[in-house]
Amino acid sequence: MAKRTHSSIGDVLNQLRDEFPDITISKIRFLESQGLVDPERTPSGYRKFYPADVERLRFILRQQREHFLPLKVIKERLDEVDRDGGFAVTGPIDGSGGDRTVDPATVDALFEETRRAAQSAEARSASARVRDDEGTEDLASAESGVSLTRAELVRAAGTTEEDLARLEEYGLITPSHSAGDRVLFDDESLAVARVCAAFMRHGIEPRHLRMYRAFAEREASLFEQVVLPYRRQRNPEAQARTSETLGELAGLGRRLRTALLRQTVRRTFNN
């Protein structure tokens, strides 16, 4: 009996899952709906994925994971690959042996993936050392010493270069150090970027988040008036008192914001 040369969408899912644990059938269908992959269909409507289709999916998923590219840019790269002859694959790609030759553009992406692996490891290490859910003492806590390049910050925060640029544009993130073309970000930038990335997953854009920056600046000005007498004393006891007071004020501010937000939400959604 002749060996089947195509795979079902379930088979493709199994082939990709080792490299991309988060892949789902819905994700594959979404990429198809966006025109990035176009499998054949049987007369009854079932998808038929050939080896080149699977390689195309690998390329798309790697571009998203390693380069954080939007689908529009990935589609442009795919068009270039198609003009160069597409994803040429010979032999089975399901782990059963055989040769596989992939378009040079895909090979370049694989080398790029290796180069970025070290950056990703550093970003994960930095991310593990930074907390954005601290308690009332967070204003007095010591810095973790994190120093990240732009690419490392993007990876550690789980965001994109485009989103990071917008966070900078609206003043939510600023570099802690710059020397020539080299720009570095600290742990505070990472904490802010991670929280903002979570907001953006709900469709809340950086321009909407500017109010938090404005409120933080006003709150800091208010706290400064309270601790100013301690800061003027310039001794260890006064410094300790400053940290303690700031921590207490931060906790009170957080509790008040939560209570007021709860009150407002209740009034808004119960009307």
SS (H, E, C) the chain: CCCCCCECHHHHHHHHHCCCCCCCHHHHHHHHHCCCCCCEECCCCCEEECHHHHHHHHHHHHHHHHHCCCHHHHHHHHHHHHHCCCCCCCCCCCCCCCCCCCCHHHHHHHHHHHHHHHHHHHHHHHHHHCCCCCCCCHHHCCCCCCCECHHHHHHHHCCCHHHHHHHHHCCCCCCCEEECCEEEECHHHHHHHHHHHHHHCCCCCHHHHHHHHHHHHHHHHHHHHHHHHHHHHCCHHHHHHHHHHHHHHHHHHHHHHHHHHHHHHHHHHCC
Name, of 12-26, 61-75, 170-184, the range with top average pLDDT. 12-26
Proportion of the chain above pLDDT 90, given as a percent: 22
Residue 140 pLDDT exceeds 80: no
| pLDDT over threshold 60, residue 26 | yes
Packed helices 51-67 and 71-83: angle between N→C axes, nearest 10 degrees? 140
pTM beyond 0.85: no
pLDDT value of position 146: 65
Q: Worst-scoring range by mean pLDDT, 53-57, 106-110, 266-270?
A: 106-110
Computed over every residue of the chain, the mean pLDDT equals 78
Single out the residue of 148, 181, 179 nearest to residue 164, CA to CA.
148
pLDDT the model gives residue 186: 86
Question: Does 2 have pLDDT greater than 50?
Answer: no
Q: Which residues of 49-68 are buried (b: 16+ CB within 10 A; e: fewer)?
A: bbbbbbbbbbbbbbbbbbbb
In the prediction, which pLDDT does 94 show? 43
- Over 70: is that where the pLDDT of 108 sits? no
Output the pLDDT for position 172: 93
Chain segment 175-225, per-residue pLDDT in tens: 887 766 677 888 888 999 999 999 999 999 999 999 999 999 999 899 989
Going by pLDDT thresholds of 50, 70 and 90, the confidence category of residue 145 is: low
- Look at residue 105 and tell me whether its pLDDT is greater than 70: no
Q: What is the pLDDT of residue 179?
A: 63
pLDDT tens-place string over residues 225-271: 988 888 788 778 888 888 888 888 988 998 998 899 888 888 887 76
Q: What percent of the chain has pLDDT over 70?
A: 75
